[in-house]
Amino acid sequence: MKFRSNSVEQTQKIASSLAKKIIKIGSQRHAQIFALEGELGAGKTTFVKGFASALGIKAHITSPTFVLMKRYAVSMSKTYLYHIDAYRLRNHRDLMPLGIKEIMADPRNIILIEWSDRVKKILPGKYVKVHIDHINGNTRKIEIK
């Protein structure tokens, strides 16, 4: 799927729509993983904000660049949204002390990973790739595979 966004609000609406369409809490064998790619300032965290909002998360979402990972409870369920920022990581091994294998193994979890290309080796065979590119100013091209 390809989208064109001309504002922060449109990017969040695209993410919200994706979350509502494909989230199947607990109906698969492992966590649902969304690998976010794009250059600095492309809108990865903006995308996460829209996604989280669709799940009923009211918390103020910020990039976990310095803490690496944040966990948010999804309202009305035993599900958690994990927001990971791999920008400062050398590779997937840097996520091991955070318990990433256990987090990925739990089918109730939803994981969004910014800069996912840095931890590609740990991604399962099946995940959703979201690539965001700057076109100009506020305009973004969002490709979801």
CATH of domain 2-144: 3.40.50.300
Asked if residue 13 lies in contact with residue 107, where contact means CB atoms within 8 angstroms, the answer is no
Q: In which residue are the tokens 């840095």 written?
A: 118
Q: Categorize the per-residue pLDDT at 30 as very low, low, confident or very high, splitting at 50, 70 and 90.
A: confident
Q: Categorize the per-residue pLDDT at 62 as very low, low, confident or very high, splitting at 50, 70 and 90.
A: very high
Q: Does 25 have pLDDT greater than 70?
A: no
Give CA–CA dist 52/12, Å, rounded: 9
Kindly tell me the sign of the dihedral angle through the C-alpha atoms of 49, 51, 52, 55. positive
Q: Does 76 have pLDDT greater than 90?
A: no
- Rounded (10°) CA dihedral 116, 86, 54, 26: 70
Tell me the three state secondary structure of residue 2. Answer: strand
Kindly tell me the sign of the dihedral angle through the C-alpha atoms of 20, 26, 29, 33. positive
Give CA–CA dist 71/80, Å, rounded: 6
Tens of pLDDT along 106-132?
999 999 999 999 999 999 989 999 999
Q: Categorize the per-residue pLDDT at 26 as very low, low, confident or very high, splitting at 50, 70 and 90.
A: low
What is the pLDDT at residue 75? Answer: 78
Q: Categorize the per-residue pLDDT at 27 as very low, low, confident or very high, splitting at 50, 70 and 90.
A: low
Pairing of β 128-136 and β 2-5 = unpaired
What is the pLDDT at residue 20? Answer: 87
Domain ranges of the chain: 2-144
Query: What's the pTM value of the predicted model, to 2 decimals?
Result: 0.92
What is the pLDDT at residue 39? Answer: 94
